[in-house]
Structure 1
Amino acid sequence: MMPMMRRTFSTALLTMFCVSSAPGVNASEADAEREERWQQIADYIFDDRKVIPTEALISIDAPKRAQDAALVPITLRMPEKDKIKSVYLVIDENPVPLAAHVTFGPAADAGALHLRVRVDTYTNIHAVAETKDGKLFSNAAFVKASGGCSAPSGPSDAEAMKGMGDMRMKFAENVRQGTPSEATLMIRHPNFSGMQMNQLTRLYTPPRYVEKVIVSQGDQTILEVTGDISLSTNPALGFSFVPAGQAPIRVVASDNKGGKWEQSFDVPLATN
């Protein structure tokens, strides 16, 4: 999605979706409202492409009630991973519902993804799997949370921005050539949502968020991530890849204000 399209998307969804269900509506009415909202969001993101409900191609592990609405752990699982081209994570009631779009490269193992997100209010979270033949399949989970998008990123904006762009990578033990292995990427970045108030100036901090992350090894892409304000402060991404050769893993990250950072990480291959 191009920058101008992203701004239009954000503005339109703020207008369409930031009003919650009225107090006193019963459960069936609330469910109907949530389904109508999801259909509106799906139409906006995917145009006229059909999104088919599924429990087989993708699932969501999410807390029913978030302990911290600004750091909600989400795991997406794709049992038939060889069929998956990309996944979309949509937080229906957030001001900008499309939290992330992750496209898998040839060096990826698309079985699972782990992310941390902001959740602004009680909401359905939808995961949409795009298969290699171009079809879309969705599953949903309901999460109770409040205020995740306006929670401060730190004691002050300056403190939150210290070390911005620094990265760390953790690898699972016994990483072996040609065998899927897990890794976790952590990026130091405040991911300002535009809804957070600077406690010193009492003004809202302009949005500044990680917009693109590309992870590769050698000439093989592992995955590409397009993000938005719903990713948490200091975004973390857990993924699986298939190690090939001695080349380090290279990460290139950029944000919506033109910041760009690159870092490489040696893969600790097992010797036996």
Structure 2
Amino acid sequence: MMKLTRRAILLSTLPASALAQIKTPDDADANAVWDKIRPSLFGKRPIAAADSVLVLEAPVRAEDAAVVPLAIRTQVEQSAQKYIDAVYLIIDNNPSPIAGVFHFTPRSGRADIETRVRINDYGYVRAVAEMNDGSLHMASQWVKASGGCSAPATKDPAEAQATLGRMKFLHAGALVDGQPNLVQLMISHPNNSGLAMDQATRQYAPSHYVRRINVSYGGQRVMDADLDISISENPNFRFYVVPQAGGGVLKAEIEDSHDKRFEATQRL
């Protein structure tokens, strides 16, 4: 006699209508979107497991689908000989699955990135690291969240426009020259997805989001990113930079989907 698992026993007690609403990583279509996205990004190139290259940290169940914290932590020291060139952040079941592509250099020190995203439906979140030799490595996490892309903004539209593009750098403690130091970039921007309905007017706010970030230190490129509507309201990014003796200027330049450009600087 076949031995049933606890999950199978539980499912056998549910009516068909309830079974139709259950989504798990075991569903046959769990990878359907990824199977379409993968060749468009990487062709037929093999993708290895993350192993000792990167780790994706994401909640199994999000408290707020419109503000889901994610951390991509890499385990490769950025050097001229070997470094992570790009990290792709993919959210399978979002209307625009490619949430961001982050590009790094050896000057980054580490190719880590932390941010907050919208998740529209239960599914996989994926982080794919592309090494400077072209090899690919992927980590994934099934996340239970829904409705994040259509959630209303938390900030009054007039107030959001008044502070549009304001940026601030933060870092904890004293900086260590010649070593990777964690810094945070906070951006005031509504990052409208175009999918949220105004409950008063019953109209959809047009999409308006940060689509490009360039970060440099001392005039040298550190990190840049191409982004989409999956990044949460008031984008927030944590990444590494390697300060040099004598200091230098950390600069962030952003461009949004309305072709508006903003910049901020801070001396490190």
Per the normalisation by structure 2, the TM-score is 0.86
Q: 2:68: which partner in 1?
A: 72
CA 1:239/1:97 → structure 2, altered by over 3 Å: closer, same or farther?
same
Q: 1:50: which partner in 2?
A: 46
Deviation of 1:28 after TM superposition, in Å, equals 7.1
Aligned sequence identity (%): 36
Q: 2:103: which partner in 1?
A: 103
Checking the alignment, whether the CA contact within 8 Å between 2:23 and 2:122 is kept in structure 1 is no
1:38 aligns with 2:34: yes
CA 1:257/1:27 → structure 2, altered by over 3 Å: closer, same or farther?
closer
Q: 1:252: which partner in 2?
A: 253
Between 1:104-113 and 1:116-125, the stretch displaced more is 104-113
Q: 1:120: which partner in 2?
A: 120
What is the distance in 2 between the residues matched to 1:28 and 1:148? 20
CA 1:181/1:25 → structure 2, altered by over 3 Å: closer, same or farther?
closer
What is the distance in 2 between the residues matched to 1:155 and 1:163? 11
CA 1:28/1:68 → structure 2, altered by over 3 Å: closer, same or farther?
closer
Checking the alignment, whether the CA contact within 8 Å between 1:105 and 1:224 is kept in structure 2 is no
CA 1:26/1:173 → structure 2, altered by over 3 Å: closer, same or farther?
closer
Checking the alignment, whether the CA contact within 8 Å between 1:70 and 1:149 is kept in structure 2 is yes
Per the normalisation by structure 1, the TM-score is 0.84
What is the distance in 1 between the residues matched to 2:71 and 2:33? 23
Task: Give 1 or 2 for the bigger CA radius of gyration.
Answer: 2
Once superposed, what is the RMSD of the aligned Cα atoms? 1.8
The runs of 5 or more residues in structure 1 that have no matched partner are 1-21, 268-272
Deviation of 1:193 after TM superposition, in Å, equals 0.4
What is the distance in 2 between the residues matched to 1:154 and 1:107? 36
CA 1:203/1:133 → structure 2, altered by over 3 Å: closer, same or farther?
same
1:23 aligns with 2:23: no
What is the distance in 2 between the residues matched to 1:171 and 1:85? 24
Equivalent pairs counted in the alignment come to: 245
What is the distance in 1 between the residues matched to 2:243 and 2:115? 21
CA 1:109/1:125 → structure 2, altered by over 3 Å: closer, same or farther?
same
What is the distance in 1 between the residues matched to 2:189 and 2:203? 20
State the one-letter code of the partner of 1:23. Answer: A
Deviation of 1:241 after TM superposition, in Å, equals 1.0
